[in-house]
Structure 1
Amino acid sequence: MLDLRPVLFALGSLVCMLAGGMAVPVLFDVLAGNHDWEIFVLSGFLTITVGGMFMLANRGTGDALNLRQAFLLTFLAWAVLPAFAALPLAFSELSLSYTDAYFEAMSGLTTTGSTVISGLDNAPPGILIWRALLQWFGGIGIVVMAVAVLPMLQVGGMQVFKAESFDTVEKILPRAGQISAVISGAYVSLTAICMLAYLLAGMGAFDALAHAMTTIATGGFSTSDASIGKFDSFSIDMLATFFMIVGSIPFILYLQVLRGRPMALWRDEQVRGFLKLIFFLCFSVVSWLIIWKGFSLYEAVRYGLFNIISILTGTGYATTDYSQWGSFSATLFFMVMFIGGCAGSTSCGIKIFRFQVLLKSMKSWIDHILQPNGVFVARYNGRPIPLDVRNSVMSFMTLFLATFLVLTLAISSTGTDWITALSSAGTALANVGPGLGEDVGPAGSFGGLTDTAKWLMSVGMLVGRLELFSVLVLLSPRFWRA
């Protein structure tokens, strides 16, 4: 029988930490004279009460989790925390239904960026900063999970990073907890640098803080319905583009740079592949906008670079309604949303390394077919790719496609058109943000979907953020057996 006590104790501590975060929007609402601060106080009290009960009822059970408990905690943390994070949204002056509030909270913590809220320009400051905080908390949670949890669970080929990440960093810090703390420090520092850059570019202090948190987290929540386009500034667009890329690079490599290895970023095969892909996509989009859409070089660079990188990194910011650019851009953006950034970053999607492992494995198989007696070893970052990593990546890609098709059919059964269903399923599973079309595209919101579709998308966001296997393994009866 699976011992749930250590899991519930750890879950209670995370719920209490979330309650502590509610003090931040209380401060902003009090300073602004908005009465929603009372909602955050009550929500925080309820949240810390439940979290404290979990901790007190299961104290003394130890903090060492086995493999099955780690799987369960990973799932419960990302499923339960949005339930409490949704409370201020549901009872605020926005008057959201609990379905909408949970959708918004899940979108925030998974750094998806899809929203059901319209009228953000007039929303209370506490709500705006709470949405940004949720994405910021989710971003650091994703990085720590990618460094310390998913490699241990061997999810989707992530075990390829286990020896590399921990062997390298253990020379600096001996414990995974210390590694997480240092990564968190880098995360906070990059957020502060991003905020300072936004301030210098002309953003107000509040907007700079909120957007810095959601940029580094590659989340995409904004303080305006017009997103980054509200500021109509080339410098802000380019700064956001740069920091979206920064948030999509493995944070573990920033530690190596700080330890005197400035070439660590370029020597990493995943980062090289990611930067090359960015160059190719940006060149293609800019050229297409100039040749076929009559954009000037300035317009093509400003709008093309920003929006394609926003989709690639899963951030979901927008400066213009790119769905109006034609079928080519819609198709390209739809395909790109599934790629994502690097493993070990705040980015989402399938991840660059899986495509690299898949292509290298295919090349070795083709070489073996051409020369049956030859020995061909697929390598990643100079190391042979183990067979279990190849199998995990192949399984992940297959399962991702199957889950995407099932989710699309489920959403379409609620009465949505096929473009909305297809893009809604894709943006949820890939944790991107905006979809395609007038309703859920960059100029719309997901508020018009049925409650059933929103719950389906919430499940899709959860499954996509936890790399599929972390959730689906819980459905196996073998998991629950002693």
Structure 2
Amino acid sequence: MRALANLPLALHLTGVAGLAMMLPAAHALVAEDFHVARSFFYSGLLTLIITAFIGIAVNQRHGAFSQREQLATLVASFTLLPLVLAVPLYEGSQNTTFLNAYFEMVSSLTTTGASLYEGTGQLTKSLHLWRGIVGWLGGLLVWVVAAATLAPMNLGGFEITTAAGGGEDVTLIRRGTRQRTPAGHIWYALSTLAPIYISLTLLLWVLLLVVGEDTLRALMHAMGTMSTSGITIVGHVTEDNAGLAAEVVILFFFAFGISRLTFSRDVAGRRERLLTDPEVQMAGIIIIGLPMLLFLRHWIGAIEVNEHSDFTAGLLALWGSVFTVASFLTTTGYESVAWNEARDWSGLPAPGVVLIGLSIIGGGVATTTGGVKLLRVYALYKHGVRELNKLVYPSSVAGMRAYGRRIHRQGAFLAWLFFMLFALSIAAVMSLLTAFGVGFEEAMIFAVAGLSTTGQLAHAGADVPLTYQSLSDGAKLVVCFAMVLGRLEALALIALFNPNFWRN
């Protein structure tokens, strides 16, 4: 086991990918889809054999892998591992190109959920299951890497906390593991977080089965919710026999994309209360306040009262707003079956702009969500409030609450720096997409969808739903780059060019 633990992270990920291929192989075998079963079985077997040979060849290296080496491996994994994951999808589908299969796997592994085939009927159920499994494993990978690698390196949102500024070991792992090697941190984080992640997925799956969802769809929705990938076989969560009950169940599990305290209370050795967490408070304000504004707009006089102005339709519209706002805030991208009623009720001329803004804000730090993250938005908000107070009382001295003291003195500056990097990334991706013939508005939506890891924005963010199939091959590669950049964040990539990385 010690020799196995000393192997590079890339080999572990490749081995897990090979084992995971056996699940859709078994599903296809039961469904008597023998071609797809052979494609996954042979691909998984070949992957495991090659991984074993490489592991034997490098097992003599006992040197410790640094955190920066693991970060570089993570960058390579999000770009190169999908090449391995795409092989069974390409062989099994028989009606796609390898580039399309690669795009699909990058989207799934980065928990973006952008699909070329969702709802088209071009893929069998076993192939859709493979998309969901890859997205679910990508979510678990984000949990583990955030705890074991990004947090100790003060990346991924932890750079704005006082622990990050004071040299304290910021980690979601308990204090007793501070003496572990970076590889040991990953194994400990996996053993700590994986049971929680698996248990929550199984619980959500069972609850969705109870409310009447089909077995495979319930599993896909459970994996898509926990990983915030939003991967599904159908366009809406309720396009089956479950009804709105499925959305009610899923809404509660969006909490795990809002704050890390919902699944791990140990942050730099301190225990925080969930209700006092600023990420939870900000998410609550957005999820409650924004739907109420859309709901009340019906009576403010923005539109004429029409046939939808009865009590039942009003409640349905309110629910559609609450679920969809929570879904896109956590960058899951599930669209409520009542979202059309909510759009008609509010009368917004361009409701997709609201969803784009929610996706840019994103969810909590160290969760599977993308976007700028709620903690950075909180730091910017507190800084803005303080500056406004200083305009009125220039000599005032502000006090801080317990959590406010944990924000680094330069926390707002670092949050603003990341926000500007995010905005520049949108501009850069838009420029590349327009160079490949994509229109300005479409390029903006595709760029935000990739960088915020909310692939469903292409359908929900425009007046006329967009499809990734309409993109050229070059534009698809640009979107793949945007999805990897959005998943890892620009600061993590910039950290690789730190001079200390090369000196070590």
The answer, yes or no, to whether TM exceeds 0.5 is: yes
Distance 2:172 2:239 in 1: 45
Structure 1, residues 81-125: CA drift from partner, whole Å, max 9, x if none?
Answer: 212111112111252211111111011011111111155556322
Distance 1:46 1:441 in 2: 45
| Higher RCO (C-alpha 8 Å, min separation 6) | 1
Answer yes or no: is 1:417 the counterpart of 2:439. Answer: yes
Partner of 2:291: 282
Partner of 1:399: 421
Change (3 A) 1:218 1:286: farther
Structure 1, residues 300-351: CA drift from partner, whole Å, max 9, x if none?
Answer: 0342222222211111122457597653312212211101111122222111
SS in 2 for 1:457: helix
Partner of 2:354: 332
Partner of 2:275: 266
Gaps of 5+ in 2: none
Change (3 A) 1:193 1:207: same
Q: Counterpart of 2:87 in structure 1: which amino acid?
A: L
**Greater shift in the superposed pair: 25-34 or 38-47:** 38-47
Distance 1:110 1:441 in 2: 26
Distance 1:7 1:394 in 2: 38
Partner of 1:433: 455
Partner of 2:32: 33
Matches for 1:161-180 after TM superposition, within 5 Å:
166=171, 169-170=174-175, 176=185, 177-180=187-190
Matches for 1:14-413 after TM superposition, within 5 Å:
14-35=13-34, 36-62=36-62, 64-119=64-119, 121=121, 123-155=123-155, 157-159=157-159, 160=161, 166=171, 169-170=174-175, 176=185, 177-224=187-234, 226-231=235-240, 233-243=243-253, 245-256=254-265, 264-288=273-297, 292=303, 294=306, 295=308, 296-320=313-337, 326-368=348-390, 371-376=393-398, 381-413=403-435
**Greater shift in the superposed pair: 97-106 or 357-366:** 357-366
SS in 1 for 2:102: helix
Structure 1, residues 9-52: CA drift from partner, whole Å, max 9, x if none?
Answer: 22112111111111110110000000201111222133223433
Distance 2:433 2:16 in 1: 34
Distance 1:290 1:52 in 2: 66
SS in 1 for 2:444: helix
**Greater shift in the superposed pair: 382-391 or 303-312:** 382-391
SS in 2 for 1:314: coil
Structure 1, residues 126-183: CA drift from partner, whole Å, max 9, x if none?
Answer: 2111111111101111112222211222225423276586488337999644344222
Change (3 A) 1:12 1:289: farther
SS in 2 for 1:415: coil
**How many residues get paired?**
472
Q: Counterpart of 2:14 in structure 1: which amino acid?
A: V
Q: CA deviation at 1:432?
A: 0.6
Change (3 A) 1:49 1:446: same
Change (3 A) 1:256 1:154: closer
Distance 1:63 1:239 in 2: 47
SS in 2 for 1:153: coil
Q: CA deviation at 1:465?
A: 0.4
Structure 1, residues 341-370: CA drift from partner, whole Å, max 9, x if none?
Answer: 111222221110001111223333444555
* 8 Å Cα contact 2:251-2:323 kept in structure 1: yes
Q: Counterpart of 2:51 in structure 1: which amino acid?
A: G
Distance 1:193 1:164 in 2: 33
Query: How does the TM-score come out when normalised to structure 2?
Result: 0.84
Distance 2:148 2:141 in 1: 10
Distance 1:148 1:74 in 2: 12
Distance 2:97 2:40 in 1: 17
SS in 1 for 2:93: coil
Fraction of identical pairs, as percent = 23
* 8 Å Cα contact 2:9-2:70 kept in structure 1: no
* 8 Å Cα contact 2:111-2:453 kept in structure 1: yes
Change (3 A) 1:278 1:440: closer
SS in 2 for 1:227: coil
* 8 Å Cα contact 1:29-1:37 kept in structure 2: yes
Q: Counterpart of 2:378 in structure 1: which amino acid?
A: Q
**Greater shift in the superposed pair: 276-285 or 96-105:** 276-285
Distance 2:88 2:404 in 1: 49
**Greater shift in the superposed pair: 334-343 or 176-185:** 176-185
Partner of 1:3: none
Distance 2:484 2:380 in 1: 25
Structure 1, residues 396-423: CA drift from partner, whole Å, max 9, x if none?
Answer: 1111110111101111121112111110
Distance 1:462 1:342 in 2: 18
Distance 1:188 1:327 in 2: 41
Q: Counterpart of 2:352 in structure 1: which amino acid?
A: A
SS in 1 for 2:469: coil
Question: What CA RMSD, in Å, does the superposition of the two structures yield over aligned residues?
Answer: 3.2
Distance 2:393 2:322 in 1: 43
**Greater shift in the superposed pair: 273-282 or 395-404:** 273-282
Q: Counterpart of 1:170 in structure 2: which amino acid?
A: R
Q: Counterpart of 1:450 in structure 2: which amino acid?
A: S
**Greater shift in the superposed pair: 193-202 or 111-120:** 111-120
* 8 Å Cα contact 2:458-2:466 kept in structure 1: no
Q: CA deviation at 1:75?
A: 0.9
SS in 2 for 1:447: helix
**Greater shift in the superposed pair: 312-321 or 414-423:** 312-321
Change (3 A) 1:366 1:60: farther
Q: Counterpart of 1:423 in structure 2: which amino acid?
A: I
* 8 Å Cα contact 2:380-2:416 kept in structure 1: yes
Deviating above 6 A after TM superposition, structure 1's stretches of 4 or more consecutive aligned residues are 171-175, 377-380, 437-442
* 8 Å Cα contact 2:292-2:318 kept in structure 1: no
Change (3 A) 1:433 1:289: farther
Gaps of 5+ in 1: 1-5
